[in-house]
Amino acid sequence: MARQVVVGSWQDKSLLQGEQFDSVIADYLIGALNIHSPYFQDQIFQRLRRHIAPGGRLYVVGMQPLPDTAPGAADIVIEVGRLRDACLMLAGHRPYREYPMDWVERHLRAAGLAVTAARRLPILYSEGSIQRQLDMAARRLSFISDRDVASALERHIGDIQRRMKGICAAVRGGHIQLGFDYIIVAEAAPPSRPPSRPPSRPGLSLPVPPPPAAAAAGTAAAAAAPAGKADAVAAPEERRFAPHASSGTMVMAD
């Protein structure tokens, strides 16, 4: 498949029909589904699995949902997030909805994929990154039909903005650490082994059936795949990313 941008919905069964890739990158896709394909989150990995070539990999990039409260300076990040989502919903828009790392791993396994590596990346919030969330909230005010509510929210955004600037100025380095992004690597799980041959009895012959053709073909394809350079390396205490060669990549971004 030539390099191209394909626009469509994963709920459309004809999207990328018959196409397979060595590397499939789901870049914050789960969080964006709440906007573009709500209630499809539990089916997305089964949908993507058919596009992973034998021996290929799926890379899932996401953000761990933030807690309801946080200690010290970090609580301003939580407060801004609540205000942003309130403005989005009052404007009739859907906010992003991130899913936890363990939820993603469970649903990958349920879709027949084996999780082979994972890594957490701490998030540092600067004054600029928090301000962008407030700007997103402010841009939604014109869509709120009740102008009294919109005016009250506008004042609230200004109050939080002033407090946020003071908090960030007082934090060492100007950055607030809270939560983490994650990268999860998954591969198609190997076919289950055939049941062991039961002990034979005199005068009774039990032929062992050959392995399914699809499983044999998949094994042969995986064995023929050339070795490549390591994609990434996790910290020593984490699972490690193994080498893998990739000749075709599908990237899905929010």
Give the span between the Cα atoms of 127 and 233, in whole angstroms: 30
- Name residue 5's amino acid: V
Q: Residue 147 is inside which H or E element, if any?
A: helix 147-170
Q: What is the pLDDT of residues 189-240, one digit of tens each?
A: 766 665 555 554 444 444 444 444 433 333 333 333 333 333 333 333 333 3
Average pLDDT, the chain: 81
Q: Is 157 helix (H, G, I), strand (E, B) or coil?
A: helix
State CA 26 to chain mean position distance. 6
Complete domains list, the chain, with CATH: 21-190+227-253 (3.40.50)
Q: What is the pLDDT of residues 142-151, one digit of tens each?
A: 999 999 999 9
Quick check: 137 pLDDT over 60?
yes
Q: Is 160 helix (H, G, I), strand (E, B) or coil?
A: helix
Q: What is the pLDDT of residues 74-114, one digit of tens each?
A: 999 999 999 999 999 999 999 989 999 999 999 999 999 99
Reported pTM: 0.73
Backbone Cα Rg of the chain:
24
Q: Which long-range contacts (CB under 8 A, 24 or more apart) does 187-190 make?
A: 187/52, 187/55, 187/56, 187/57, 187/58, 187/113, 187/114, 187/116, 188/49, 188/52, 188/54, 188/56, 188/112, 188/113, 188/114, 188/218, 189/109, 189/112, 189/113, 189/114, 190/114, 190/219
Contact 121, 183 (CB under 8 A): yes
